[in-house]
Chains A and B, each alone.
Chain A
Amino acid sequence: MTDTRIAAPMLGGWGAARRRAKAARDAEFTAFVEATGVRLRRSAYLMCRDWHLAQDLTQHTFARMYAAWERIRNGTNLDAYSRRVLMNAVFDQQRRRSGSEIVLADLPDRADRASPATSELRLALVDALARLTVKDRAVLVLRHAEDHSVETVAAILGLSVSAVKMRDSRALSRLRALLGEDFPDR
């Protein structure tokens, strides 16, 4: 690398170096997307109950991360960072759409479309999640679908550890009340 820079004329050398740096950055970023995209999209889905919207939210999250990549690629907990960007996108979307209720369509609509035999329980959980507040839902998804520690969840959502614990136990009991006996105690 040093050789080329010395050998090439000043401007050409800079241009080539910058192109190489961009190519390396893009490759690193692409590897990150491929390694984490599925998990992130699934969490997005649990938040919004819509795979297409989940795809949009994930895409948006990665675009924001690419815009900040130089700054965050070293030393930042990328996993937690991506969750924070995602959750903020979900919260924004929710605020913009209605101000109060869940991000997406009405519940009955979804239930009708399901084929009950295979997906009853699955839908039950996703629909029950949708009945919680968006913050409570975020706590459950991060804590139980993603297995983050209480401390990490608190960092991602900008809440205190005790607030996360409180929301978690409150949301779990709501979930249990909605799902009845199908749902494990803990």
Chain B
Amino acid sequence: MQRNLRDHFEAAVSDDPGFALDGMAQAAIVEGSRLRRRHGWLAPVGVAAGLIAVIGAVTAPRLLADAPKSADSPVTVAAAMMPVTAPSCWREPVDRDATDVVIYLTDVTGEQLSLLRELLHGDPGLAALAFESREEAYSKFRTRWATNPDLLAAVTVTDFPAAFRLRLQPGTDFPTVRARYENAAGVDRIVGRRCATDAPVGGVQ
């Protein structure tokens, strides 16, 4: 009868869409290297501690070797200009099932901007809406990289896009939202993130 229960669980995963695994290892290597650089060995230790205690198969873990590296320094100006994902969001943007969205604008006219604002205000799929001007984006950048004069010298306010930040109502389908706005005049690109409810609207800091 135990066998029978097992079969139920097997059947429950029978619609596995079978995402490719070969890309997964590569992506994990890239992301894992980044994690290791950022945290040294500290981060995974908390996860492992309990297992080590019970399974007891591991020789003394290197608890405090390789202290965490100091502040992140970006490789390029473009990387430094990237908005920072809020801590309570998934680290990478998502293509579907987003809870929060940022609509980046290009050189938008005043008229296009108010049209877009009107559309967004009337959209029942949104739970919250905020606007960030390029001045605000630039000022955040200056605060964040205040100790890095090279970066500050490399960009001006016009390098930053203005953006709308949205929080979707629970159940609102992100691809639909994206399709609705991505071709609107003045829209450059649309980025979705998956966030906890305490994240800032849009999922970026």
Write the residues of chain A forming the contact surface with B, with a CB cutoff of 8 angstroms.
Answer: 26, 29-30, 33-34, 37-38, 41-42, 45-46, 50-53, 55-56, 58-60, 62-69, 71-72, 75-77, 80-81, 84-85, 88, 96-98, 105-106, 109, 119, 121-122, 125-126, 129, 141, 144-145, 147, 154-156, 158, 183-186
Contact = CB atoms under 8 A, between A and B. Distances in A.
Contact of A68 (B4, B17, B25, B48): B48
B93 to A, nearest CB: 11
B51 A144 contact: no
Closest 9 CB pairs of A and B: A66-B32, A62-B28, A68-B44, A96-B196, A145-B9, A63-B31, A33-B25, A155-B54, A184-B4
Given A38-B21, A51-B17, A76-B48, A67 B11 contact: no
B55 interface: yes
A186 B51 contact: no
A46 B9 contact: yes
A105 to B, nearest CB: 7
B58 A76 contact: yes
A144 to B, nearest CB: 5
Contacts of B21: 33-34, 37-38
B75 to A, nearest CB: 20
A70 to B, nearest CB: 9
B11 A125 contact: yes
B8 interface: yes
Given A46-B9, A64-B35, A68-B41, A77 B51 contact: yes
Contacts of A154: 54
A66 B59 CA distance: 19
A63 B35 contact: yes
B57 A67 contact: no
Contacts of A98: 197
B2 interface: yes
Contacts of A109: 171
Nearest to B54: A155
B1 interface: yes
Nearest to A125: B12
A56 B93 CA distance: 11
A96 B195 CA distance: 8
B185 to A, nearest CB: 31
Nearest to A87: B47
Nearest to A49: B12
A185 B43 CA distance: 42
Contacts of B88: 96
A84 B28 CA distance: 17
Given A59-B31, A98-B197, A109-B171, A64 B44 contact: yes
